[in-house]
Amino acid sequence: MGDVAEDETSFYSNAEGYWRDVSPTVDGMLGGYGCISNIDINGSKLFLHKFLGDGDGGTGTGTGTGTGTGCALDCGAGIGRISKRLLLPLFRTVDLVDVTQEFLDKAKTYLEEDSKRVGHYFCSGLQDFVPERGRYDVIWIQWVIGHLTDAHLVEFLRRCQEALRPNGLILIKDNMSHEGVVPDEVDSSVCRELPIVRDLVSRAGLRIVHEEQQLDFPKEIFQVHTLALR
């Protein structure tokens, strides 16, 4: 067991070290692929709108049972790229959580006027983060699940479920490998294939209510899928 604990410790500490050296810019957040930010945000916006208010994603359709727009959580938020372009335009309050304090400090200026509507900036790895019970309408988890072990991802998703308001929604948007689990030694992460992610979601006691592949990304990068969970 000692080896496992040691490997796990270095898995997390190496990732923290990697991100400490990354430039606090959109290009830095996207690993040099800043050019895909608009495509990414627009795809996410179309996906999310299916669920908000009386959206047609099997949640509302005029019945008032859609996902609320009070408060969202941006997980692995970095400098707030997703908060600025996607979440703050749609939600009254947004909280940010990231493992790198420098990114959160940068977010306070990057978000400009909208920073007034940020509730909290949490500096924490998601493996340790406990979101407030019953606080969030939407928990957005993008390009960060690869930094969690399987067990920690399952546990984190369970905590997220408890942090949702009625009709709340967890969204995972991330790279999916073609087969198995692909490690990345550079940033100390893994990329899982979609069936593995689905299985981990199920283990957390959640169900996938909608799923889409992000289109129009460069061919050389992993496929990216968005999963809406309840």
Give, for all 230 residues of the chain, the pLDDT tens digit: 345 567 999 999 999 999 999 999 999 999 999 999 999 999 999 999 999 986 544 333 334 569 999 999 999 999 999 999 999 999 999 999 999 999 999 999 999 999 999 999 999 999 999 999 999 999 999 999 999 999 999 999 999 999 999 999 999 999 999 999 999 999 999 999 999 999 999 999 999 999 999 999 999 999 999 999 99
Q: CA 220 to CA 222: how far, in whole Å?
A: 7
**pTM of this structure:** 0.94
Is the domain 2-229 a CATH 3.40.50.150 member? yes
pLDDT at 60: 34
